[in-house]
Chains A and B, each alone.
Chain A
């Protein structure tokens, strides 16, 4: 089954303790991206990757790192989480096409709480 898999679904951690949220897709998509969703602010892009070893900042990259060493995986790393990073996180993937990306496939989301 074609899917984007995020793990974990729920995570509670403490300030400063490094964590990684994994994202994997089995559709051979070149484009992958991370978003956070907060009440009143909607979805905002953190980082995206157009292909292996190619990553770019979105609108809210501060406090996050990503890597794209292989096509299927795009982990999101919080080196020193802070309470303002408490949010609902989504990973998505698609094929980039001339004229815009193909439809996005989203993971199920990761609800992160930083205390």
Chain B
């Protein structure tokens, strides 16, 4: 069964800083999710990626399948980026059921003006 580790657990940054959040997992997977949970509690999907890199605005997600590691980067951070960022992976091996997801415990980001 997959295990997921996120780091750091908490992160405080000044507006404009470059942010990196890391996610490592133990079992080979076919895809990884990055989620954002706003202070009000709502959850939105930021990325689903299976290889390489994806970019959306100031957010960039990368994944290294061989090293079982993914990073989420935020360029030119802004106070509105303050949220909890969560990664999720399938629980089983590559090719197994993609329905059972395991979540990291999240990284709480606070961006100060």
A interface residue numbers (CB < 8 A to B): 31, 33, 35, 40-45, 48-50, 56, 58-59, 88, 90, 92, 96, 99-106, 108-109
Would you call B98 and A101 a contact (CB within 8 A)? yes
Point out the residues of chain A lying under 8 angstroms from B106, CB to CB: 42
Would you call A42 and B104 a contact (CB within 8 A)? yes
Closest 7 interchain pairs by CB?
A: A100-B31, A103-B45, A43-B103, A42-B105, A106-B43, A48-B99, A99-B30
* Distance of A58 Cα from B1 Cα, bound (Å): 12
Would you call B103 and A100 a contact (CB within 8 A)? no
Would you call B45 and A105 a contact (CB within 8 A)? yes
Point out the residues of chain A lying under 8 angstroms from B98, CB to CB: 96, 100-101
Would you call A104 and B45 a contact (CB within 8 A)? yes
Q: How far is the CB of B102 from chain A (nearest CB, A)?
A: 7
24 contacts between A and B (CB under 8 A): A33-B99, A35-B103, A42-B103, A42-B105, A43-B86, A43-B103, A45-B100, A45-B102, A48-B99, A49-B99, A56-B97, A92-B43, A96-B98, A99-B30, A99-B31, A99-B50, A100-B29, A100-B30, A102-B48, A103-B45, A103-B48, A106-B35, A106-B43, A109-B42
Point out the residues of chain B lying under 8 angstroms from A41, CB to CB: 105
* Distance of A101 Cα from B32 Cα, bound (Å): 9
* Distance of A58 Cα from B92 Cα, bound (Å): 12
**Given A99-B31, A103-B33, A104-B33, are A45 and B105 also a contact pair (CB < 8 Å)?**
no
Q: How far is the CB of A93 from chain B (nearest CB, A)?
A: 11
Point out the residues of chain B lying under 8 angstroms from A101, CB to CB: 31, 48, 98-99
